[in-house]
Structure 1
Amino acid sequence: MFAGRVIITYKNLVIRTTVGFLAFIGLGGIVEKTVSAEPYVQRTTAKMIKSNGQTNLYFKFQKPYRARLILHKTTGNYIKKTVTLPKGTIVSGVPDRDGHKFTTIHNGAVDVSYQLKKRVVKGYQSATLNFAVKYSSGILRQVKKPAYSLPYGHNILWTGKPVNLWPKRAVTSPSQIKITSDGYVESYHYHSVTAGDTTINYQVKPNSSVKINHVLKRGSSIYFYYRDHLKGVSDKRVRKAGPYQYRLTLTNKHTPYAFGDPDNDMFQYASFYSVGNRSYWTVDGASDVYDPATGTD
């Protein structure tokens, strides 16, 4: 379930993403050419999504905390800078455990907002949050999954349609929506740059960003309310003033798919959403082996 490195392979194309390194997933990944079999794409079941979906734990900082940002330039070089996470910041985290007890919390799969990064990221193409905090220190504590979070995955959605989407993912120009752990919705336009041997398809600065002020859940839909229009998405103005002027609707279409490369026994699982009036998809999780005949792993 998204443990370690995930490889999505298509005919004449391989996309490699390292789960712990969120900039590559959120910003486009490492893209290189190879020769492979035809991709496998097939409708799957909600049971498979539940079995293989990546769930996230969330934590809130109880005091200001100085974390590291790993920054990436077009030269291919990395540099580390410090960013202060204010008290109350919610992050996703991966715990080390001693039995049932948490020992150390590491940065998780869901990214934090550009608002937290913007003071130190000028001139860089990607910025990945990095921290390791002893849970016994009281610096952070576990909280419930925020209402704005998606059920599984990295809280990132791409534009597109099922079945014929994946072979084209790295050669078309999909828009991206990111829902951050600290409660922002960010929209990104495709903007590819080469950074050393890495291709980054989405820049660190979003095209538009808004703070979520209220969330409603009804059936398969999530409603985000915020003050200002989010550029690049079809939100709706529902009030003339105040913090809830705009509403963005995300509806799970309940059409899960499995896709991947049978040669490598690597499969991923995706769910499709309508966001405003457009179709989006998100990666929920992954497994090493998938049997298309039985729909089991």
Structure 2
Amino acid sequence: MKKQLLAGLIGLAALLIGGTSQTTAHADATVNIGGTTVSRSYLNIDTYYRATRAVKAHVTYYRAKDGKRQYTKAIKLPKGTIVAGWIVPKHQLAHGKWGNELTFGQGNLNEKLLNAGAKKGYVAGGTVSYALKHLKKVKRPVYMPAYSSGDLYLGGAKATLQGDNQKKRVFRITTNGYVELIARNAKVQTDAAFAGKPLHQAKIKKTRVKGATRYLYLSSKMTGTGIKTTRVGKKGAYQYRLALKNLHQPQDLSYYDDDRGEVYVFDSLYTVGGVTYYTPICFGSEIED
């Protein structure tokens, strides 16, 4: 739901460039997705920020198995870290202070950074930062797919029709430039199902876009995943290349609700190293909650 809220809060932001041929912008702030006209505010459009110096972020950790216990601690974001989120206007913060905060979107940063030093059995939940003067607004990183918050779930058109509990694996592109492959943890609640340690992870060293494909250059390959990485160098940071291709086949999952009217839901299909995945790109209704 954080992603949906984020899309609603900042959906009127400028249309992001690249990889958007499946949608066409109109002057009245609508887009056409697969023949359906929807409000641009329903799109998963994130606002990105880069840390101009090392800054603190406060992470709330909750017990994975039931979510009944939680605690908060600070982590340090290195200079240059890119995050996505929305600014919550001035309100009362901890210790009686007042100020603004940047609330991060879900699945924003790589697991190692978020969960470093976390108590056993706990996973990262909400993340905020109060260091707004050291967080500069930037364009969407080229490695991030348009209208996606970075989570791509295993499966094609049929998989998009299944419920959240049927999702088996997520390929995650973090805002700070990592790729992670995470298997579902069936032993924990839904919100924490994909918050565990990745099966495989790698730092994105370079990105090249050609047509509908993003080529992500990595220093290590994704092994044992079915995802193909091509070796393009013998040493150095750019040894392996992973192809992320937009199939331009939006999946219309919209439905009618008695209280909310028409609810518009769309997923977009991709291949990740030759394996089909899908990512949510649109969620919104005629009558907002």
| Superposition TM-score, scaled by structure 1 size | 0.73
Q: Deviations over 1:187-206 (max 9, x none)?
A: 111222235xx563223211
Q: Deviations over 1:168-227 (max 9, x none)?
A: 3444352211111110001111222235xx563223211111100010001100000011
Q: CA deviation at 1:4?
A: 3.4
Provide the C-alpha distance between the structure 2 equivalents of 1:5 and 1:218, rounded to a whole number of angstroms: 29
Q: Which residue of 2 aligns with 1:259?
A: 253
Contact 1:193/1:199, CA 8 A, preserved across alignment: no
Q: CA deviation at 1:44?
A: 2.8
Tell me which of 87, 95, 99 is aligned to 1:95: 87
The 1:203–1:130 alpha-carbon spacing in structure 2 relative to 1, beyond 3 Å, is closer
Matched AA of 1:144: K
Tell me which of 145, 150, 154 is aligned to 1:155: 150
Matched AA of 2:55: Y
Q: Which residue of 2 aligns with 1:10?
A: none
SS where residue 131 of structure 1 aligns? strand
Q: CA deviation at 1:271?
A: 0.6
Q: Which residue of 2 aligns with 1:70?
A: 60
Tell me which of 267, 270, 288 is aligned to 1:270: 267
Matched AA of 2:49: F
By relative contact order (CA 8 Å, sep 6+), the higher-ranking structure is: 1
Q: Which residue of 2 aligns with 1:120?
A: 117
SS where residue 145 of structure 2 aligns? coil
Residues 1:107 and 2:103 aligned together: yes
Q: Which residue of 1 aligns with 2:50?
A: 60
The 1:182–1:171 alpha-carbon spacing in structure 2 relative to 1, beyond 3 Å, is closer
Over the matched positions of the two proteins, sequence identity in percent amounts to 24
Q: CA deviation at 1:132?
A: 4.0
Give structure 1 regions of 4+ aligned residues with deviation exceeding 4 angstroms.
46-51
The 1:85–1:258 alpha-carbon spacing in structure 2 relative to 1, beyond 3 Å, is same
Provide the C-alpha distance between the structure 1 equivalents of 2:191 and 2:139, rounded to a whole number of angstroms: 35
Computed over aligned residues only, the root mean square deviation of the Cα atoms, in angstroms, reads: 2.9
Q: CA deviation at 1:125?
A: 4.5
| Equivalent runs, 1:220-259 vs 2, <5 Å | 220-231=212-223, 232=225, 233-259=227-253
Q: CA deviation at 1:128?
A: 2.6
Residues 1:176 and 2:177 aligned together: no
Q: Deviations over 1:91-113 (max 9, x none)?
A: 11213579xxxx94512325111
Provide the C-alpha distance between the structure 2 equivalents of 1:57 and 1:219, rounded to a whole number of angstroms: 24
Range with greater deviation from structure 2 (72-81 or 274-283): 72-81
| Equivalent runs, 1:11-26 vs 2, <5 Å | none
Q: Which residue of 2 aligns with 1:4?
A: 5
Tell me which of 198, 203, 206 is aligned to 1:206: 198
Matched AA of 2:196: V
Range with greater deviation from structure 2 (71-80 or 124-133): 124-133
* Structure 1: stretches of 5+ with no match in the other structure: 7-18, 20-42, 291-297
